[in-house]
Each structure stands twice: as C-alpha cells, then as structure tokens.
Structure 1
C-alpha cells in the first residue's frame, strides 16, 4: 500500500540526492529533473490537477506517459525517461513508499544500437590542417587561433566537450604532455595530449595575452569567449559546424563526434581497449566497446591472415 507523498516533494529530494550524494554533473541532473517534470505535466494535462502524489503513479500511468510522446521522441529518448523513473523509484525504496517499483513493470522501448559518428583520418587531417592554416595567417583574429587549439585538443585527448570547456590553464602540463580532466561524478583523471595540440594551445595563449593584455586572472578558463569568460559547450557546437563548413566538410557532427573519432582511430591503430576506456573516462568497458564495430572489417582481415585454420593450405 502506498503512503501519501507529493511528487514534487520527493522529486526535489531525489535531485538533491543526485547532486550532493552521487555528485552527478549539472547536465545529467538537468536531464533527470526535466524527465520528472514532464511526467508531472502529463498528469496535469490528463486530470487538470497540479497536485500529483506518488499514489497516483502506476505502471499503466507510466505506459500512458511514454505513449504520449512516441510520435515526437526517438525510442532512445523514451527509454532514457523510463530509466529515470526506475532510478527515482529505486531511490524511494529507502522511504518504504512502494511495495513494488511501478517502472520496473514497464517494458523498455526496443531501440537499435546507435553507431557512433566519426570522421576518417583524411577528413580529420584536412579539418585540422585548414584550422592551422587559417590560424597562422598574419593578422588573423585570436579567435582563429583559439578554434584551432580547441579542436586539436578535443581530437588529441578524446575528452567530452563539457570537460573541454571546464579546463583551466593550469590543467595543461606542457612539459609532461598531459591534461588533468574533471569528468562525470567529479572524478578526476589525467589523459595524454599530443605535441600538435600543445603547439596550438601555446599559440592560442600567446594570442590571448595580446587580446587581453591586462590578463584574465578573474577567470582561469583555458578556452575563452570574446568577453574573456569561459566558452560554453553550446558555443563549441556552433563553432564546430561553422569551421566544418568553411573547410568543405558538410557532415552535421557534434563535438562528441570528435571524441568518437579519437576512440575509433586509436582502436584501428591497435590500442588496447582498456587503455582507451581509461582515457575516455568510461566507468564500464561495455561503453567503450561500442567502438569495436568500426574496425570489424580490419579485424576480419587480420584474422583471415593470421589464424591457422582460416588460411588455405599451400
């Protein structure tokens, strides 16, 4: 038997739990909060009543909520919302509010495995070389140098765009060729960064000091906007699309695609999957294994060449 409790009361407790106890990122917390709020809005659209209580939630109600958005949302988005509700009700187990998690009784939408988007090596070199050329023209804007450094760094390290924009200048160790990154759950890790990326960052910092001769001590952000503040992930997305078009690459790619590209190219070059997992900051190896499909043809060629039972007898 359910005990009384308002949806808003316990959803607020849940969000505080995610923020202060689990230490999830602001972006992840916003996604959880949005999913819970949408269910409350669905209840109001059905009943005209704003006072949703936990006792109003059943498996059938959740099925109706997911069905209400099947035409406007991909199945992956629906599955994520169901996952949010399952996590929320598991959290409520500590309060002994439900005999059974109603979200566990709802089947997840069947989704196709999404193949990560990525650029091939030639396209990446063409893109980064075009950025470097534009950044080394005499009298070019400091932002041209920033954009070169921005995407050299993203491809060289494979870090998330949120991690990229949260980098501060002291996080880059030029002598050691490493970058200190704060990832999901405020977990810190150190990842290698290549010489090309380090050169581009040095050039960018020199251009930045000329642009802001008084310095930007009040904001230690590595990648800055035109006002000297920290660049945002949304701005990086916009800059990437602009730069891709400038060099003739019309693929609609997100900054995350450069992370996929980083992982795919390392894997194709024979890097160990565990090492890639460490650099990407994946807590589970299964997440990293999404990239294994892209080099399957190469793997099969290696197998046919090396395996004794796959070779023809001479």
Structure 2
C-alpha cells in the first residue's frame, strides 16, 4: 500500500514518521498486535499498523485540511505507542489510552523541546501541553480511527469505545478568535498600503482573498477549490455552491459588494467581470501558470498570513495588543470574523448556521456576543439614581 502523500508545497504537511518506518522493530509494527482481529475477518489489505492508519487517512484524501489534522493526531499516538509505551498501536489497551490522555495534557520534555525544529524528522510534536478542548478534539479524532479499524475487522476491539461520556449540558464556549469591526477595517486598509517589493498582482489577490473569505465565511480548502462555474444566479441573486466538510453540499449568498469585488479582481486578470457559461477558472487565481489551476489551501492560508503580518507591522506602534492579535490571526479567524459580524448585524442565527453549514445551531450560537455586551454594560454601568 502506498502512503498517503500530502501536498509537498504545504509546509504544514512535513510529517515523515508514518512514511519512514525502517527503524521500527518487528514486534512494534503491529502485524501481531494483541488487539488484532483474525486476518480472515479484515476488510483492509493492511498488514501492519502504519498501513492501517494510511487506509483510514485515505478516506479523507478529498479534504486536505481534515487529512492534515487527522494525520497529526494519528502520528502522535503511533509515535507515543512505539516510543513511549513500547507497544504496537494495535496492542494498546484502555489503560494505555488513559495514560495517553494524561500525556497530552503534560507531554514529556523532549516532545516539546523548543530547540527542536517545527518541521522535519526530528521536530517537536507539541508546542506545549494541550488545553482540555484540544485533548477532547484529539481523543475524538482517535476514536474515529479506532472505530474505523474495529469496523473494518483490523482490530478485535475499540479501546476508546469504553471512554466515559461527559455530560452534554455544557454550552459551547463563545468564539474568541475573531476581529472586531474596527480592526477588520484596519486590515482591509493595510492592503492598500501594500509593500512595493511584493510580486505583481499580489495586492489585487490579497484584497480579493480577504474580501471573499469574509463575505462567505468559507473554510480555506473550500475557498481554494471554488471555481467560477460554482456561482449561480437565481431570482436575481448570486449564490456560491460549496462542497464542504464531509462532502456535504450547500449554497452561500454572494452579495453585491462581494460580486463587485470579484468583478474588479477578474478584470485585473483580463477576464469578464462576471463568469460566462462554462467558465472553470478558480475564484482565486494563480499569479502565473495555467489559469485553470487552483491554489492549494496552504497557499491561500499563506496569503492571509502575509496580510495579517503586514497589518500587524503597521499597527505595532499604535496598538501593540492589536498587533499581537493580528500576528495570531489566520484563515479560520476570518471565518469566525465573518460569522461574528453577521451575528452582530442581527442576522438570524438559522441563516448564519446555513451560511457556515453547521450541523448544530449550538455551534453557531458561539458567535453571539451582543447579549454579553449588553450584560456587561448593565452590570458595570448601572443607571444613575434619580
């Protein structure tokens, strides 16, 4: 089985351990794991744990962002199993997984050593202890891995199926990774002060990318793969068809401002202002090479990071706190920002849910900050006594 290879132009996918297992002793590769099911029952061709993990990852090959995230979690567990526990992944027990959960919250020093590089074979796998939310996310991903391998007949049992379920009455925490309206306006103004040494066309592309992401709230992979043919005019209104997370399709409104920005961007590339029938050009165009080639999600991510870094430099002397926030911002911050601005404007929560394609309204409710603002004002600024 060939390993699942990610886009080599994306620096965040430099994960080599699953593809370089020559150093692994035979008793740790999982071909004889103590939790292996009889080979005759297995629906996978996988002979060992790495091949089994790669079979699971192959299910997400059409979703690059999910693939990167899931591979990172699987690789962390696999390396912890063979290096820290001295066990094959297919030999892990429920007790081992409890130990791993504790390890995530307090990794060994060499796993977070800041002297190690962030990429490459000898890199550090953690920047520090994971937060409770990140631990839950990691275990949720791994539960999917073990569930898949159990259902496929590769494992005899799922050690994470015994995990105690927490109460579901707790409301999701409010989203904090977003930019308020004045700071977002500053980011857009910063693009108009684009450095002269940047490649020709990069300013127009940066301007369009930021406006496009904010207008639609798309995930980075969705924006990177969007094409002109995905735009649809219905009853005088433009919609963008999106095939999103879990291969679920949906339509996102494209307002007049967004379509005007798109028209200006397309004209800068010598294209018609509005897409013509059969137009397959990407909505985010490359600066060179074939026009039909979509940028990678990683490239779109880097474009937004470049914008935020530039805005941060311009903001540093005036407001270091804002500058620090801009340095942290990324494509997903723009998605959160778009949803928050829609909620602040009074958009019905059900409409925002459809725009973001959330399965649960509870998830969307994290973008409601107006009630908190009113509560803060009412508490800290009581009315004057007559």
Deviations 1:95-153 (A, max 9, x none): 577776322445689x994633212222223332453x459x9xx94221221111111
The alpha-carbon distance between structure 1 residues 95 and 245, as it changes in their structure 2 partners (threshold 3 A), is: closer
Deviates more, 1:98-107 or 1:183-192: 98-107
Instruction: State the distance in 2 between where 1:42 and 1:33 align.
Output: 14
Deviations 1:219-254 (A, max 9, x none): 722212322442233333333233234443422211
Classify the secondary structure of the residue corresponding to 1:177. strand
Paired residue for 2:67, among 6, 23, 29?
Answer: 29
Pairing of 1:245-260 with structure 2 (within 5 A): 245-247=309-311, 248-249=314-315, 250=323, 251=326, 252-260=328-336
Alpha-carbon offset, residue 160 of structure 1: 1.3
Alpha-carbon offset, residue 43 of structure 1: 2.5
Paired residue for 1:15, among 57, 74, 92?
Answer: 57
Aligned twin of 1:84: 141
Instruction: State the distance in 1 between where 2:77 and 2:165 align.
Output: 16
Query: Does the CA contact (< 8 Å) of 2:232 and 2:238 recur in 1?
Result: yes
TM-score by length of 1: 0.75
Aligned twin of 1:66: 101
Deviations 1:65-120 (A, max 9, x none): 333442334133332221122223333453577776322445689x9946332122
Query: Does the CA contact (< 8 Å) of 2:143 and 2:161 recur in 1?
Result: yes
Cα RMSD after superposing both structures: 3.8
Alpha-carbon offset, residue 275 of structure 1: 0.8
Instruction: State the distance in 2 between where 1:243 and 1:24 align.
Output: 27
Classify the secondary structure of the residue corresponding to 1:231. coil
- Segments of structure 1 that go 5 or more residues without pairing to the other structure are 211-216, 305-310
Instruction: State the distance in 1 between where 2:89 and 2:306 align.
Output: 47
TM-score by length of 2: 0.63
Query: Does the CA contact (< 8 Å) of 2:209 and 2:304 recur in 1?
Result: no
Pairing of 1:84-103 with structure 2 (within 5 A): 84-94=141-151, 101-103=158-160
Alpha-carbon offset, residue 288 of structure 1: 0.9
Aligned twin of 2:237: 176
Aligned twin of 2:366: 290
Aligned twin of 2:125: none
The alpha-carbon distance between structure 1 residues 92 and 67, as it changes in their structure 2 partners (threshold 3 A), is: same
Aligned twin of 2:180: 120
Classify the secondary structure of the residue corresponding to 1:103. coil
Higher helix share: 1
Aligned twin of 2:114: none
Instruction: State the distance in 1 between where 2:248 and 2:288 align.
Output: 29
Classify the secondary structure of the residue corresponding to 2:96. helix
- Segments of structure 2 that go 5 or more residues without pairing to the other structure are 1-33, 40-47, 108-127, 272-277, 316-322
Classify the secondary structure of the residue corresponding to 2:269. helix
Classify the secondary structure of the residue corresponding to 2:252. strand
Tell me the number of residue pairs that the alignment of Structure 1 and Structure 2 aligns. Answer: 287
Classify the secondary structure of the residue corresponding to 1:209. coil
Query: Does the CA contact (< 8 Å) of 2:211 and 2:258 recur in 1?
Result: yes
Instruction: State the distance in 2 between where 1:158 and 1:130 align.
Output: 21
Instruction: State the distance in 2 between where 1:223 and 1:183 align.
Output: 17
Instruction: State the distance in 2 between where 1:146 and 1:154 align.
Output: 12
